[in-house]
Homo-oligomer: A and B are copies of this chain.
Amino acid sequence: MALIGVLGGMGPLATVDFMEKVVRLTRATRDQEHLPLLVASLPHIPDRSRAILDGGEDPLPAMLSGIDLLNRNEVGVIAIPCNAAHHWYAQLQARSAAPILHIGEACINAIQDSVQRVAILGTSGLIAAGFYQEALTARGITPVVPDEVTQARLDASVRAAKANDIDEATVQLSAALAILIAQGIRAGVMACTEIPLAARNLSTPTITLIDSTLELARATVAFAVARGWNSPSPVALDRI
């Protein structure tokens, strides 16, 4: 048994959402059949989107401190429920003894083969980072980058969720989706972990939405269950 490490707090409610998805995806009849987690929720990590966009404070040192903390405690794998953080994936993985699951990879693997065009629903910084565009193109899917007006709605949705205002986040996301639908878009990746929080209360069926938080949770549970980390062992408990 090993602990699942989570580098979180980017943002805090998205980390809670990720944990809830991990718990609900785990088949269990009692506490002892669930998966053990060590979650470093470090919201003080500087803003990823701003660092990518306009030279805001570099978040890498604080993220590396979090990776070090998790590795000092001998986690067996790390999940980072923040898409923009994966702009620094290579540096984070280079520092980490534990493998880091890639949220974008998990998310793009979940897109059905029949899908030809996918809108990227994330922050401006995530769009500027460009790795979703590259990965979609590599799979033969055309990435659709929202226009300026739509992107402003998405950025506002993310900001509202980080400030605990999920109602406003939902209003902004709805407005963005209405524009995309009018533009003929039928599928989107929620490539920011705040977007699924905003999408929870969408009142009308919209477009097919792939949830990066859910897909990362699926990959995490599959990794851990394959290694039997949901099976308690007294020896392993002594080693925490």
> Is residue A199 within 8 Å, beta carbon to beta carbon, of the partner chain?
no
Give the docked Cα–Cα distance between A33 and B46 (Å).
11
Kindly report how many copies of this chain are found in the complex they form together: 2
- Shortest CB distance A50–B (Å): 10
| A36-B41 in contact (CB<8A) | yes
> Is residue A10 within 8 Å, beta carbon to beta carbon, of the partner chain?
yes
- CB-defined interface of A49-86 with B at 8 Å, one 1/0 digit per residue? 00000000000011001101100110000000000000
Main SS of the interface on chain A?
Answer: mixed
From A240, which residue of chain B is reached at the shortest CB distance? B65
Query: Using Cβ atoms and an 8 Å threshold, which residues of chain B touch A162?
Result: 28-31
Q: Contacts A19-B41, A37-B39, A62-B240 given; 8 further ones with Cβ under 8 A?
A: A9-B34, A12-B23, A15-B19, A32-B47, A37-B41, A44-B237, A65-B237, A72-B73
Known: A31-B11, A62-B237. A39 touches B38 (CB 8 A): yes
> Is residue A35 within 8 Å, beta carbon to beta carbon, of the partner chain?
yes
Chain A residues within 8 Å of B, Cβ to Cβ: 1, 3, 9-13, 15-16, 19-20, 23-24, 26, 28-47, 61-62, 65-66, 68-69, 72-73, 159, 162-164, 232, 236-238, 240
Known: A20-B13, A162-B31, A163-B29. A38 touches B40 (CB 8 A): yes
Known: A12-B23, A20-B13, A23-B164. A43 touches B65 (CB 8 A): no
| A43-B34 in contact (CB<8A) | yes
Contact of A30 among B30, B37, B42, B47 (CB under 8 A): B47
From A42, which residue of chain B is reached at the shortest CB distance? B36
Query: Using Cβ atoms and an 8 Å threshold, which residues of chain B touch A40?
Result: 3, 37-38, 240
From A32, which residue of chain B is reached at the shortest CB distance? B44
From A13, which residue of chain B is reached at the shortest CB distance? B23
| B43-A32 in contact (CB<8A) | yes
Known: A38-B39, A39-B41. A46 touches B32 (CB 8 A): yes
